[in-house]
C-alpha cells in the first residue's frame, strides 16, 4: 500500500462524535449544531480529497458522497446511540460514492486520514469503488448499480432483529434489480430502510428529461413500500423522517430531494457534479470555506506520467471509444435521411459521453434514444428494432456490464436480431474504478451454439483499425460486438515504421494479422495489449530472440491459415487484459490441440484484483512488456 507522512490539511478535531436516539425524533439545539458542524467538516473533506483525484488525473466522483453526507452523519449518530438496534454498515448502491466509505473508515480510526491524500492512486488501496478486504475499514464491495439492495435484503434476513440501511439513488433505482429487490422486501416484510438521494442527475443527463414518466417515490410505492419524501437538506425534517422509518414495520423508502452538489458554486444542479470536482472549483470552494492549507496542498499535487517509451508504435494517440462513434456517423452520413430513420436506432444507457455514442446523438438525434441505466432492457429494445431484415439497433455501455446482459444477448440471437454493440472500457487499462469495473469477461457474449445465429467479437488495436472495423461490419447481419478501452492507444507501426492500418488498409472480419514475423515463436494479442506486446517483441529481437507478433482483432473466429502458422512454430504466448480464465487464451490452446499442433504454450491475462491508478494496472497483472518478456524467455528456454 502506498502511504504518506504528509499531514491531512483539514482540522480533524472539527468533527465531534455524536450519539442520537431514534426514540426522540426531535433534535436539540446542541445536537443540531454538532450535526451541522460534522456535515460541513465531511463535505469539506470530501471536496478536498476527491479533488486530489482530479489533480492526479484519476477521477473521483465528488457529487454523490458530498450530497449524502447529512443522512450518513445521522446514521452514524444513530449507530452510536443504539449499537444493538442496527447493522452498523453504510451499505451503498452507488459504488462511485466510495469517498463516503473511506471518510468513515478514517473517522473510525481504521484508516489514517493522511491515506485519503492518495485517493485512487495506484497501490494506495483506495480504488474508485469500495472493495471488501482491500481497504481497511471498508465493510462491503459495491460498484455496479442495482446490485446492493438485493444483497442487503439477504443481510436483513440474516439479522431479523435489526434494522438494515441501504443508501440508494435515482440512478440505481432505474435498474431492474431494484424492482425485484423491492418486491421481495415487501413480500417478506424485511426491516430494510432505503435512503434514496433523488437529485435528478445521472452521468449523461437528468432523469426528469430522458425518463419523463419515471418517479422514484411512485415506483417504490407501486411495489408496496411505505414512502417518506422530503428535502434532504432540511436537517430536522430528514432526521425525523429517518426516525419514523426506523420505528415503522417492514421496508421503508426515505426519498431525499436535493440538487446535485448543493452549495458548490459552478456545480450545483449540474451533471458535471456526478464525477470529480475540478481542481479550480475545489480551490474556489475551499477558499470560501477558509481551508487555505487544503488549497495549498491541491495546487501542489503532481500528476504522474507514463514515462515508458513503447517501441513499434507511433505517437498518434487515439481514443477508440470515441472513434467508434465517429466511424458510425460516417457510415450513417452516407444514407439519406429517410433510410437512416427507417433502418437504424441507437439506444444509450446513460453513458453516451463515455462510449462515443454522443457523436451519434449530436449528429443524428432523430435516430438516438437517450435512455436510463437499464442495460438489459435497452439492449433488448435495440435487438427488437433490429429483428427485421435490413434494420439494426446500435447499443453501447461499459464492458463490465456485459455480464448483466447475457440472457438478453441469447434472446436477441434466438430472434435473429441485428445489433451492433459497442462495449467500451474493456480490459483494465486506465481503470481507477478498479475490479468491479474491469471489462474482463467479454467472451461471455459468444455464448451461442455452433449452428446458431452469427455472433462476432471485435477488438481493434488502434484508431485506424477501429474506423476500418466499423466500416466493414456495420451492415453485416447478426450480433456484432466491438470492444474498446477507456485509455487511448497509439498507432501500430509495421516493420518498416509505417502505419500498419494506414492508407489503403481494409479490415477483413475473421482474419488475423502478422505484425512482426519471427522464427522463435509468436505472441498473439489484440486491443490495448497489442502495442505492449509489440514493444516486448522489439526488445526481444534486440536481444537476439526472434519472436513474432500476431494481431487477432476478430476474437472468436479461427483463422485456420494463421493458426497453422503459429501452431507450427516453437512457441505461442497469448497476451490479453481479459480474464485469464475466460479470455482468448483459455480457448486458443484448445484450438491448437484440436488440430494437432503442439508448440510450447502459455497465456497471460488479468488474474487478480486491481491496484487502482491508470496504466499501473498492466504491470500489476504482469502483462506489461516486462512481464511479457519474462514469460517469452521462460518459454524459449
Each residue of 294-335: pLDDT tens digit? 999 999 999 998 889 999 999 999 999 999 999 999 999 999
Distance CA 467, CA 323 (A): 7
CA of residue 526 relative to chain centroid, distance: 21
Q: Give residue for cell 487502482.
A: 612
421: β partners: 395, 481
- On the CB side of 467, CA atoms within 13 Å amount to 16
Give Cα separations from 564 to 30, 100, 255, 456 (angstroms).
79, 54, 62, 21
The upper half-sphere exposure of residue 282, i.e. CA atoms within 13 Å in the direction of its Cβ, equals: 31
What span, in angstroms and rounded, lies between the C-alpha atoms of 605 and 582?
Answer: 10
Cα 460 to the center of its chain, rounded Å: 20
Q: Report the Cα 169 to chain-centroid distance in Å.
A: 17
Distance (Å, whole) CA 414 – CA 453: 7
Contacts 24+ apart (CB under 8 A), 109-114: 110/136, 110/137, 111/135, 111/136, 111/137, 112/3, 113/8, 113/12, 114/3, 114/4, 114/5, 114/6, 114/7, 114/8
| Chain mean position to CA 329 | 25
Question: Chain centroid to CA 350: how far?
Answer: 12
- DSSP character for 372? -
- % of the chain residues with pLDDT over 70: 99
* Grid cell locating 584: 482468448
Say whether pLDDT at 1 is over 70: no
What lies within 8 Å, CB to CB, of 601 at 6+ separation is 571, 572, 573, 588, 589, 592
Instruction: Write the pLDDT tens digit of every residue in 49-101.
Output: 999 999 999 999 999 999 999 999 999 999 999 999 999 999 999 999 999 99
CB contact burial 555-569 (16+ within 10 A = b; e otherwise): bbbbbeebbebbbeb
Of 447, 450, 396, residue with least CA distance to 423: 396
pLDDT digits (tens, 9 = 90+) for 348-394: 999 999 999 999 999 999 999 999 999 999 999 999 999 999 999 99
- The reported pTM is 0.96
Model pLDDT, residue 6: 79
The pLDDT of residue 121? 97
CB within 8 Å of 432: residues ≥ 6 apart: 53, 58, 59, 120, 127, 128, 612, 613, 614
- Rounded Cα distance, 159 and 138, in Å: 20
Query: What's the rounded Cα separation, in Å, for the pair 272 and 224?
Result: 34
Over residues 513-558, the pLDDT tens digits come to: 999 999 999 999 999 999 999 999 999 999 999 999 999 999 999 9
**Tell me, what's the pLDDT at 3?**
56
- Cα(52)–Cα(470) distance, rounded to whole angstroms? 38
How many whole angstroms separate alpha carbon 56 and alpha carbon 60?
Answer: 10
How many CB atoms neighbour CB 305 within 10 A? 8
Task: Say if CB 632 and CB 540 are below 8 A apart.
Answer: yes
Amino acid at each position: 500500500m502506498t502511504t504518506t507522512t504528509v499531514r491531512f490539511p483539514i482540522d480533524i478535531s472539527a468533527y465531534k462524535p455524536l450519539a442520537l436516539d431514534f426514540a426522540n425524533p426531535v433534535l436539540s439545539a446542541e445536537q443540531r449544531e454538532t450535526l451541522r458542524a460534522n456535515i460541513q467538516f465531511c463535505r469539506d473533506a470530501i471536496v478536498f480529497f476527491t479533488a486530489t483525484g482530479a489533480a492526479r488525473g484519476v477521477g473521483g466522483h465528488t457529487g454523490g458522497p458530498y450530497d449524502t453526507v447529512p443522512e450518513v452523519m445521522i446514521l452514524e449518530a444513530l449507530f452510536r446511540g443504539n449499537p444493538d438496534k442496527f447493522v452498523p454498515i453504510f451499505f451503498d448502491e452507488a459504488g462511485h460514492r466510495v469517498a463516503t466509505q473511506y471518510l468513515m473508515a478514517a473517522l473510525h480510526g481504521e484508516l489514517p486520514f493522511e491515506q485519503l491524500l492518495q485517493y485512487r492512486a495506484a497501490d494506495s488501496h483506495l480504488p474508485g469503488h469500495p472493495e471488501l478486504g482491500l481497504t481497511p475499514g471498508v465493510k462491503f464491495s459495491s460498484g455496479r448499480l442495482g446490485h446492493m439492495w438485493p444483497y442487503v435484503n439477504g443481510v436483513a434476513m440474516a439479522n431479523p432483529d435489526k434494522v438494515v440501511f441501504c443508501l440508494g439513488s435515482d440512478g440505481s433505482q432505474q435498474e431492474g434489480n431494484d424492482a425485484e429487490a423491492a418486491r421481495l422486501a415487501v413480500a417478506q416484510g424485511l426491516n430494510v430502510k432505503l435512503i434514496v438521494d433523488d437529485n435528478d442527475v445521472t452521468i449523461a443527463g437528468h432523469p426528469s428529461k430522458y425518463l419523463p414518466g419515471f418517479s422514484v417515490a411512485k415506483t417504490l410505492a407501486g411495489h408496496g413500500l411505505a414512502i417518506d419524501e422530503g428535502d434532504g437538506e432540511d436537517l430536522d425534517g430528514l432526521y425525523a423522517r429517518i426516525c419514523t422509518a426506523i420505528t415503522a414495520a417492514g421496508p421503508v423508502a426515505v426519498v431525499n430531494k436535493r440538487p446535485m452538489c448543493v452549495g458548490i458554486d459552478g456545480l450545483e444542479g449540474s451533471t458535471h457534479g456526478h464525477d470529480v470536482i475540478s481542481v479550480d472549483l475545489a480551490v474556489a470552494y475551499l477558499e470560501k470555506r477558509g481551508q487555505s492549507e487544503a488549497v495549498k496542498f491541491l495546487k501542489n499535487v503532481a500528476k504522474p506520467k507514463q514515462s515508458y517509451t513503447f517501441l513499434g508504435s507511433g505517437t498518434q494517440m487515439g481514443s477508440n471509444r470515441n472513434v467508434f462513434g465517429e466511424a458510425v456517423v460516417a457510415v450513417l452520413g452516407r444514407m439519406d435521411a429517410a433510410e437512416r430513420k427507417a433502418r437504424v436506432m441507437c439506444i444509450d444507457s446513460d453513458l453516451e459521453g463515455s462510449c462515443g455514442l454522443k457523436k451519434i446523438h449530436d449528429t443524428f438525434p432523430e435516430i438516438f434514444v437517450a435512455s436510463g441505466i437499464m442495460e438489459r432492457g435497452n439492449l433488448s429494445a435495440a435487438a427488437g428494432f433490429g429483428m427485421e431484415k435490413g434494420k439494426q439497433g446500435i447499443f453501447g455501455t461499459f464492458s463490465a456490464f456485459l455480464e448483466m446482459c447475457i440472457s438478453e444477448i441469447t434472446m436477441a440471437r434466438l430472434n435473429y436480431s441485428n445489433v451492433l454493440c459497442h462495449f467500451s472500457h474493456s480490459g483494465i487499462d486506465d481503470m481507477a474504478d478498479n475490479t468491479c469495473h474491469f471489462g474482463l469477461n467479454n467472451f461471455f457474449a459468444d455464448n451461442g451454439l455452433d449452428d446458431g445465429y452469427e455472433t462476432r467479437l471485435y477488438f481493434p488495436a488502434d484508431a485506424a483499425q477501429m474506423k476500418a472495423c466499423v466500416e466493414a461490419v456495420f451492415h453485416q447481419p447478426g450480433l456484432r460486438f466491438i470492444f474498446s478501452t477507456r485509455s487511448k492507444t497509439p498507432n501500430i507501426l509495421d516493420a518498416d515504421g509505417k502505419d500498419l492500418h494506414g492508407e489503403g488498409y481494409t479490415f477483413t472480419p475473421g482474419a488475423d494479422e502478422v505484425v512482426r514475423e519471427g522464427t522463435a515463436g509468436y505472441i498473439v494479442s489484440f486491443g490495448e495489449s497489442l502495442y505492449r506486446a509489440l514493444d516486448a517483441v522489439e526488445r526481444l529481437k534486440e536481444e537476439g530472440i526472434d519472436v513474432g507478433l500476431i494481431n487477432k482483432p476478430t476474437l472468436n473466429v479461427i483463422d485456420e491459415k494463421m493458426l497453422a502458422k503459429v501452431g507450427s512454430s516453437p512457441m505461442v504466448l497469448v497476451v490479453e487484459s481479459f480474464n485469464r480464465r475466460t479470455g482468448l487464451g483459455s480457448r486458443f490452446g484448445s484450438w491448437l490441440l484440436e488440430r494437432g499442433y503442439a508448440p510450447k504454450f502459455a497465456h497471460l491475462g488479468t488474474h487478480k484484483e486491481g491496484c487502482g491508478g491508470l496504466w499501473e494496472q498492466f504491470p500489476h497483472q504482469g502483462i506489461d512488456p516486462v512481464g511479457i518478456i519474462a514469460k517469452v524467455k521462460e518459454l524459449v528456454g
